Structure 1
């Protein structure tokens, strides 16, 4: 195992990213340092690791608000690392792919990543994606609307599934369910409009905050993961359009 890098730390006084800790796992030293320095300029506190096993060790030490993982890593690749992280944590994960290869992207999202960027990474794009993931992790849910209003306590019930839209607690058969921030935000969009078909592009805009040029694969893979957790029969595929939450 390689020796870990010194932390790249920084903080912008009064900035929105103050005290936010990012774990960057990247084996290319030049990229590791350039990304670390770029995030430092925006006030993020960055810890850097050169391989997957070192990254896993640093993650287990705790305290990170977001993880930025390269897919191709020595010892333990980014996909395996994401799976290990998801065993114990729902922290936001942003994957980096050198080629944007479809198989790499899909594998990373299936492993539990929330989003991905393609290297070489434009700093503005990277920071925008990080800010979106952090907002998603800390947002306050809007009251559910449309045809299925929540009760006075903000509780929505769909057969075996219950969603507390105020306390942000999801239960299946009465058991609390652990969802990532992305999965929770996606579920809240669905339960706010039961029986209404939602376009993938609409979900990209509301959950991932993408414009029309976003990658709809992130929607499909997130829906796939959500179905595994809440039960596949709750979300219906509307062929050629998007998805619909069953009443």
Structure 2
């Protein structure tokens, strides 16, 4: 576990020190930060393996920081907050948080959730080479879209598109079965895992992110159900 470094972002020094103490006891490396601005500097220069992120921060709040990180990567984020209403939880999860805990919380439970996220993202989903553990397969080509499975790279009209792990997982799923309509629940189970407990609107937000990066990508919403990748050229390449 000592190879994993957890950034704890909270302006409450007592909470920050308590969380760090419990994580260090479990052989994690930690770094404590009081603001999202400090966290952004760390993200740009020496990103950690995971974030424990307070929502209510001075200056930039945790929601905006999470949104910024999610534009670039799927590093695990556990959000913590004194707000315990359902709207705040859903917002945090839809913006890309992997888990949400309400203050006051048990430090031992937090450590257990940290271990769970580390296992999911770094021991299950990512292999020794740092790529998604996808089944062995040739590249997939659908019209102008091309997925290099082994390299976990996406191209549109010959140009590479920078994507995150979740974005790749969703594109991989849809492109394997063009024209098939996947329900939001199906996509949640495939991309987030069977034990994900957040809103299915997280799928909508992920699709929106992909559409911003590939504006002409023919992902269609299936009303009241989910999404499909339309392909009129027959079987995929």
Please state which band the TM-score falls in when normalised by the shorter chain: 0.7 to 0.9
Residue matched to 1:155: 139
Whether the 8 Å CA contact 1:238–1:244 is kept in 2: the answer is yes
Structure 2, unpaired ranges of 5+: 232-237
Alpha-carbon offset, residue 215 of structure 1:
2.5
Provide the aligned C-alpha RMSD in A. 2.8
Are 1:141 and 2:134 counterparts?
yes
Alpha-carbon offset, residue 226 of structure 1:
1.6
**Alignment partner of 2:115 out of 124, 127, 137:** 127
**Alignment partner of 2:57 out of 73, 76, 93:** 73
Shift of the 60–167 alpha-carbon distance from structure 1 to 2, 3 Å rule, reads closer
How many residues in Structure 1 have an aligned counterpart in Structure 2?
219
Q: State the alpha-carbon separation in 2 of the partners of residues 209 and 61 from structure 1.
A: 30
Are 1:176 and 2:163 counterparts?
no
Q: State the alpha-carbon separation in 2 of the partners of residues 156 and 94 from structure 1.
A: 30
**Alignment partner of 1:222 out of 186, 206, 220:** 206
**TM-score, normalised on structure 1?**
0.75
SS in 2 for 1:23: strand
Shift of the 212–69 alpha-carbon distance from structure 1 to 2, 3 Å rule, reads closer
Structure 1, unpaired ranges of 5+: 1-16, 145-153
Alpha-carbon offset, residue 76 of structure 1:
2.1
Shift of the 117–227 alpha-carbon distance from structure 1 to 2, 3 Å rule, reads same
Alpha-carbon offset, residue 142 of structure 1:
1.8
Are 1:96 and 2:79 counterparts?
yes
Q: State the alpha-carbon separation in 1 of the partners of residues 216 and 195 from structure 2.
A: 28
- 1:84-119 Cα shifts (integer Å, max 9, x gaps): 5457x4251515152355367437744xx3534132
- 1:51-108 Cα shifts (integer Å, max 9, x gaps): 1122222333314223332222112222333355457x42515151523553674377
Alpha-carbon offset, residue 214 of structure 1:
4.0
**TM-score, normalised on structure 2?**
0.77
